[in-house]
Structure 1
Amino acid sequence: MSESLLAPGAVLALWTLLILGWVALTRFSAMAKAGIDLKAAPPGGRGVDVEKILPPAVNWKSHNYTHLCEQPTIFYAVIVFLHLSGGDTELTRGLAWAYVVLRIVHSLWQTTVNRIPVRFAIFSLATFCLFALAILAVIATLG
């Protein structure tokens, strides 16, 4: 693994964009199969407007993309705080990589199987890593 605390953030950003691509591919394909004509849609429509029409497994990918744009924003800030304040240590790099791996596993689970008890357990483990990173960031920045 990289010696930079910023590397896990870069990997998670790339993963988020890959999920966005998967969302686009599956949604446009499902909309075509459902006979939805985007040119005929009224102005101002949103993706959520088609959720009742599309199969749940298609929507799961969109839901996961949304999740990757929520809590990970805290992760990005925390690793930058740690990087800038001298908190780039073996421990923080390990926690950051664990967070990213858990978020990727969470994505794969949510986009394919999506059983909530397992998804929640994976999310909880990732959140624990982020919480620990945030505490370490406060310690590093208060010096």
Structure 2
Amino acid sequence: FNQNIGGWSVDNVNEMGMMFHEAFSFNQDISAWNVENVRDMHLMFCLAYAFDQDLGWCVDDDVNLDGAFDVAPCESTSCGVGQKDGNSDCWMPTQRPTPGPTPRPVPQPTPKPTPTPTPRPTPAPSV
């Protein structure tokens, strides 16, 4: 399943738990959905291996997001879904840092030795 459903009206939906669970090929933009009435999004995109969208949704802090993004490519940013705090500010997750390899020092080549000239007396110029 990978159809364009971004235009669906979901204004009155309050249960989206497991909606795209194991929808292996789904990767459509549904950021325009109005999810303000949704209370449950648990496992919504869990195991949706292709889903890699930034939804830009801000949901209430009591919305169940347990496992909502597990194993989805956008899991590290919660697919752009943030939760409001007590002040109605929306906290959007940031991507977790990934440990990078420590670069190894690159050995510098040693210069080739140059033969040191042996000091010899210089003949005096003839007049």
TM-score by length of 2: 0.21
More strand by share: 2
Larger RCO (CA under 8 A, 6+ residues apart): 1
Q: Of Structure 1 and Structure 2, which has the larger fraction of its residues in helix? A: 1
